[in-house]
Chains A and B, each alone.
Chain A
Amino acid sequence: MPLNWVLVLTTFLFCVGVYGVLARRNAVIVLMSIEIMLNAVNLNFIAFNGVVGGERLIGQVFALFVIAIAAAELGIGLAIVLLIYRNSFTVSLDEVNLLRW
Chain B
Amino acid sequence: MDVNLTALLPEIILAVVACGVMTIDLFLPKERRGAAFMFSVVGVLATLVAVLNLYGQNITTLGGMFVVDRFAVIFKIVFCVAALLVFAVSHAYLKEDGEIPHGEYFTMMMFALLGMLTIASSRDLIAIFVSIEMISIPSFVLAGIRKHDIRSNEAALKFFLFGVLSTALMLFGMSLFYGIAGATNLADISENLAGRTDIEEVSLLAILFLIVGFGFKVSAFPFQWWVPDTYEGAPIPVAAFLSVASKTAGFVGLFQVMFLALGSLAGTWRPMFGIIGVVTMTFGNLVALQQKQIVRLLAYSSIAQAGYMLVPLGVASATNTELNTTIVFAVVAYLLVYAFMETGAFASATAFSRRGGGYMVDDYAGMFARSPVLALAMSAFLLSLAGIFPFAGWWAKLVVFQALIEGGGLWLAIAMGINTVVALFFYSAVVKRMFFDRSEVTTAVTLPPVLAGAIGIAALVVVVGGVLPDLFGRLAQNSHFF
Which A residues contact B (CB, under 8 angstroms)? 14, 17, 21, 27, 30, 34, 37-38, 40-41, 44-45, 47-49, 51-54, 58-59, 61-62, 65-66, 69, 72-73, 76-77, 80-81, 83-84, 87-88, 93, 96-101
Chain B neighbourhood of A66, CB < 8 A = 129, 171
Tell me, yes or no, whether B39 is within 8 Å of chain A by CB. no
Q: How far is the CB of B415 from chain A (nearest CB, A)?
A: 23
Q: Are B287 and A34 in contact (CB under 8 A)?
A: no
For chain B, the count of residues having a C-beta within 8 Å of the partner chain is: 45
Using A41-B175, A84-B157 as known contacts, say yes or no to A58 and B183 having CB atoms under 8 A apart: yes
CB pair B154–A37 under 8 Å, yes or no, is no
13 A/B residue pairs, CB under 8 Å, sorted by A = A21-B165, A38-B168, A41-B168, A41-B174, A44-B172, A48-B175, A48-B182, A49-B178, A53-B182, A58-B126, A62-B184, A98-B154, A98-B233
Q: Say whether A99 contacts B155, CB under 8 Å.
A: yes
A77 contact set on B, CB distance < 8 A: 140, 160, 164
CB distance from B283 to the nearest CB of A (A): 12
A73–B175 touching, CB < 8 Å: no
Whether B11 sits at the interface, judged by CB under 8 Å, is no
Query: How many angstroms from the CA of A64 to the CA of B178 in the assembled complex?
Result: 15
Name the distance in Å between B369's Cβ and chain A's nearest Cβ: 31
B172 to chain A, nearest CB (A): 5
Residues of A within 8 A of B160 (CB): 76-77, 80
- Residues on the B chain within 8 Å of A45, using CB: 175, 178
Mark the stretch among B52-60, B81-89, B142-150 that contacts chain A: B142-150
Cβ of A72: which chain B residues have Cβ within 8 Å of it? Answer: 133, 137
**Residue contact A76 to B178, C-beta cutoff 8 Å:** no
Q: A62-B125, A99-B228 are in contact. List 15 more A-B contacts (CB 8 A).
A: A30-B161, A34-B168, A41-B171, A44-B179, A52-B181, A61-B126, A62-B175, A66-B129, A77-B164, A84-B150, A84-B153, A87-B150, A88-B150, A98-B150, A99-B233
Known: A41-B172, A62-B125, A80-B144. A48 touches B179 (CB 8 A): yes
Check A80 against B157 for contact (C-beta < 8 Å): yes
Name the distance in Å between B115's Cβ and chain A's nearest Cβ: 11
Give bound CA distance, A66 to B176, whole Å: 15
Taking a contact as CB atoms under 8 Å apart, the answer to whether A73 and B179 are in contact is no
> Which of B155, B164, B172, B175 has its CB near the most chain A CB atoms (within 10 A)?
B175
B363 to chain A, nearest CB (A): 19
Q: How far is the CB of B333 from chain A (nearest CB, A)?
A: 31
Closest A residue by C-beta to B163: A73
> 5 tightest A-B contacts by CB?
A52-B182, A48-B179, A44-B175, A37-B168, A99-B229
Whether B178 pairs with A58 at a CB distance below 8 angstroms is yes
- CB B168 to nearest CB in A, in angstroms, measures 4
> Could you tell me if A27 and B164 are in contact, using CB atoms closer than 8 angstroms?
no
B464 on interface, CB distance cutoff 8 Å = no
Interface centre among A41, A45, A100 (most CB of B within 10 A): A41
B232 touches A99 (CB 8 A): yes
CA distance A41 to B175 in the complex (A): 7
In the bound complex, residues from chain B placing their C-beta under 8 Å from that of A38 are 168, 171
Contact A69 B133 (CB under 8 A): yes
- Given known contacts A14-B172, A34-B164, A87 and B153 CB-to-CB distance under 8 angstroms: yes
Closest Cβ of chain A: how far from B191's Cβ, in Å? 14
Q: Which of A14, A59, A65, A80 contacts B156 (CB 8 A)?
A: A80
Residue B130 CB within 8 A of the other chain: yes
Give the residues in chain A near B137, CB-CB below 8 Å.
Answer: 69, 72-73, 76
Query: Which residue of chain A has its CB nearest to the CB of B233?
Result: A99
The distance in angstroms between the C-alpha atoms of A17 and B168, with both chains bound, is: 10
A61 to B184, CA, bound (A): 11
Shortest Cβ gap from B158 to chain A (Å)? 8
User: Shortest Cβ distance from A101 into chain B, in angstroms?
Assistant: 6
Q: Which residues of B contact A41 (CB under 8 A)?
A: 168, 171-172, 174-175
Contact present for B179 and A51 (CB under 8 Å) = yes
For the complex, give the distance between the alpha carbons of A52 and B196 in Å: 15
Measured CB to CB, the closest approach of chain B to A69, in angstroms, equals 5
**Contact indicator B153/A34 (Cβ below 8 Å):** no
Q: How far is the CA of A101 from the CA of B182 in the complex (A)?
A: 45
Write out the residue numbers on chain A whose beta carbons fall within 8 Å of the beta carbon of B291.
101
> Can you name the residue of chain B whose Cβ is closest to the Cβ of A82?
B153
Q: A72-B137, A80-B157, A87-B148 are in contact. Are A37 and B172 (CB under 8 A)?
A: yes
Enumerate chain B residues within 8 angstroms of A96, measured Cβ to Cβ: 153-154, 157-158
Distance to closest chain B CB from A99 (angstroms) = 4
A78 CA / B158 CA spacing, docked (Å) = 13
Is B151 at the interface (CB under 8 A from chain A)? yes
Q: Name the residue on A nearest B159 (C-beta).
A: A80
Asked if B129 and A65 sit within 8 Å, CB to CB, the answer is yes
Residues in B whose Cβ lies below 8 Å from that of A30: 161
Of chain B, the residue at the smallest CB distance from A76 is B140
Quick check: A101 and B228 within 8 Å, CB to CB?
yes
CA distance A73 to B138 in the complex (A): 10
A61 to B185, CA, bound (A): 13
> Counting CB contacts under 8 A, is B332 at the interface?
no
Complex alpha-carbon distance, A93 and B125, angstroms: 32
